[in-house]
Structure 1
Amino acid sequence: MYTQGYNVYKNNSVNYASKNQLLLMLVDGAVKFAKIARQAILDKDIKKAHDNIIKTEDIFTELRVTLDQTAGDWAVKMFNVYGFINEKLFEANIKKDVKVMDEVIPLIEEVRDIWYEAEKRSRLG
């Protein structure tokens, strides 16, 4: 019963979320999946590591595709940062290297923090 209620809530929170809320959910997910992948590499759980790195890559691919590059220099820089993150994730996935994950996770967290700050500033107007 609890699980069903949670799933309904989760689906509704996604279905009724604003564009900004969806973006924040994505960047939160990227941090979560990257950390799960890092731990899976340490645990030698290759499939779990692979699956979570792919989820993280998919998020950054989506962020990259939907970024409005006409928004100026900042948007172009973010586009390049997203690409760099995906390159590092690809490398980590091929090598199953926790050191590469240790390099990229702080960058993913920084992207999340940037978007949270931007959302906060947009509310303050």
Structure 2
Amino acid sequence: MRHRKKTVKLQRDAAHRRSLLANLACSLIEHGRIKTTVAKAKALRPVAEKMVTLAKRGDVHARRQAIAFLRQKSAVKKLFTEIGPACEDRQGGYCRITKLGARMTDSAPMAYIEWTDIEDMAVAGTSEDE
């Protein structure tokens, strides 16, 4: 039985999966919207929402927890100065996943994952050649 086994493994070991999710979260923070597979987007959403919850707390311990997971100080700074205050009045649901269809090369289902409250920043942060 798979009781209490919520983690999506993504065919990676634990260290690789943690690094992948941290890098995806940093890219989402930096660009506002990223294009990835549906499975990775669904695995990223709880991680990104926990990071926003830490940013809304805003204390030193929350900042250190975010740095410990993300390992990029510039991403943590943007998370705590821009994204956290923008999501201050929202109780949850900080990310939106929009399905796009299959990728041409291997038919993997693709999706955009973006912030819900920061639409103008998400559109401005991406380029059209993706």
Instruction: Give the TM-score category using the shorter length.
Output: 0.3 to 0.5
Instruction: Please report the TM-score for the alignment, with normalisation by the length of structure 2.
Output: 0.32
Higher strand residue share: 2
Larger Rg: 1
Higher helix residue share: 1
Of the two structures, which has the highest relative contact order with CA contacts closer than 8 Å and spacing of 6 or more? 2
